Amino acid sequence: MPPFFRLFLLLSGMVLVQASAQKLPTEDRIADPAIKTVLLYPVLGNDPTDPAQTLNPPIIDQSVETQLMLEFDDLTATFRPFRAKFVHCNADWQRSILNDIEFTYEYNDYPIQDYQISQNTKIPYYHYRFPVPKVKLPGNYVLVVYNERNPNQIYFSRRFSTYLNRVGVSATAQFANDPQFRFTDQQINFEISYRGYPLISPQDDLKIVIRQNFRDDRVITGLRPTNVRAFDNLLEYRLFDLKNTFPGGNEYRYFDTRTVLSRGNYIERIERREDRNTVFVNADGIRSVGAYVQTDDFNGQYVIDHLETRIGATQADYITTVFTLRMDEVPNAELFVNSAFNFWQLNDLNRMSYVPDLRAYRAEIQLKQGIYNYNYSVKGIPPPVSRSGMNLTGNETLIEGNYSDTENDYEILVYHRPPASRADQLVGYRRIGYNKRK
């Protein structure tokens, strides 16, 4: 084949890929109901099989050798050819105008070939693993997984970020300064040191994102510094208008289904059938009244594990999990079981139905064995107005309440678009905890 013809085919393929990428999603989403338990996490520590690794958010430092790992299950229980590709995004998670070659080291199209078949499970599935290739630029990315035989058929997408600390971030978390919100809200004060990093207009150049408990539905954006100390190359963010405050929320509820041989924590009963297992989580009630109760949690995350074998990836079964919330029916409202297992989205998968005979809401959700955090969210009743301007999709305050003593994780992400660059880069990252007890 003549060299120029090979070049023409390559360029044509790149054009087709770029054209199809315009339709790629840029949010966490599962489009195929047979795909379950999509985990994306950094492999840290000496034991890569430690199930607790999945509690870490998919954000890594490019200056160290850290590998991101993707895992997911296919409940069709038949082999399907999956492929993956990256979508580069700006600070607002909108797709950037960069070409693939500007942020990838290889051709942006990767086969997912590492798979195993489930063992000793009533619900059969294929378990896939994919070590995520490294990217060139620090910033926001979406990993899109699709059908190898039909690239237009997208199965799911997962967000992740990489950063290079070119600015320094120091931060503190405390209860809100305003006495009116002293017992309900938490406030994040921080400073950014840009010594040695060129900024043309320090008060305008940086884009700040603060995120609570690794949730993309709990973010504050658009913050501007309250003080610019030019001689010290320091930006101070100590806002008095409460735009840097979050509702404290409540500690997450949890349950343990790592075994079906006996009842785990907060499991009322287990029904064992030939074709499936069903567990009933202890009935819940409203927690928005009364005093704050201190409990340990995963801040809304979950861990897949199998108590008997410690091989949750392929030997943990899928269980029909029944949630019950005892309360009177709320007119003109919808209730949802809310958790990281559904990317904090309120949809048909986790919607609850009111059962008059029980005087309670109930939902049945198929979940893999493990330890899960969750809470309850309401749509149809507006949540309390957020001082920070957050666009909250659901009202968690109605059932869970808000307490400033709640233990939470916070991340501060600093984005900048360097001169002559065509996309935002993540140039600063800091993770802090509030009211940490361990």
- Residues 324-364 pLDDT 10s: 999 999 999 999 999 999 999 999 999 999 999 999 999 99
pLDDT the model gives residue 82: 97
Say which CATH architecture domain 253-379 belongs to.
Sandwich (2.60)
- In this predicted model, what pLDDT tens digit does every residue of 144-189 receive, in sequence order? 999 999 999 999 999 999 999 999 999 999 999 988 899 999 999 9
How confident is the model over 287-298, as a mean pLDDT?
93
Whether pLDDT at 61 is above 50:
yes
pLDDT the model gives residue 384: 80
Confidence of residue 36 (pLDDT cuts 50, 70, 90): very high
Q: Would you say domain 168-248+402-434 falls under CATH 3.40.50?
A: no
- In this predicted model, what pLDDT tens digit does every residue of 258-284 receive, in sequence order? 999 999 999 999 999 999 999 999 999
- Domains 13-163 and 253-379 alike in fold: yes
How confident is the model over 363-377, as a mean pLDDT?
98
From CA 363, how far away is CA 354, in angstroms rounded? 9
| Percent residues over pLDDT 90 in the chain | 87
What phi-psi label fits residue 332: left (phi over 0), alpha (psi between -120 and 50 degrees) or beta? left
Confidence of residue 2 (pLDDT cuts 50, 70, 90): low
Q: What is the CATH number of domain 13-163?
A: 2.60.40
pLDDT the model gives residue 22: 46
Q: Domain residues of the chain, as ranges?
A: 13-163, 168-248+402-434, 253-379
Can you give the chain as a three-state secondary structure string? CCHHHHHHHHHHHHHHHHHHHCCCCCCCEECCCCEEEEEEEEECCCCCCCHHHHHCCCEEECCCCCEEEEEEEECCCCCCCEEEEEEEECCCCCECCCCHHHCECCCCCEEECEEEECCCCCCCCEEEEEEECCECCCEEEEEEEEECCCCCCEEEEEEEEEECCCCEEEEEEEECCCHHHCCCEEEEEEEEECCCCCCCCHHHHEEEEEEECCCCCCEEECCCCCEEEHHHCEEEECCCCCCCEEECCCCCEEEECCCCCCCCCCEEEEEECCCCEEEEECCECCCCCCCCCCCCCCCCCEEECCCCCCCHHHHCCEEEEEEEEECCCCCCCEEEEECHHHCCCCCHHHECEEECCCCEEEEEEEEECEEEEEEEEEECCCCCCCCCCCCCCCECHHHHCCCCCCCEEEEEEEEECCCCCCCCEEEEEEEEEECCCC
- In this predicted model, what pLDDT tens digit does every residue of 188-221 receive, in sequence order? 999 999 999 999 999 999 999 999 999 999 999 9
Report whether 161 contacts 37 (CB < 8 A).
no
Confidence of residue 394 (pLDDT cuts 50, 70, 90): very high
Mean pLDDT (the chain) is 93
Whether pLDDT at 16 is above 70:
no
From CA 310, how far away is CA 49, in angstroms rounded? 9
Whether pLDDT at 13 is above 90:
no
Confidence of residue 405 (pLDDT cuts 50, 70, 90): very high
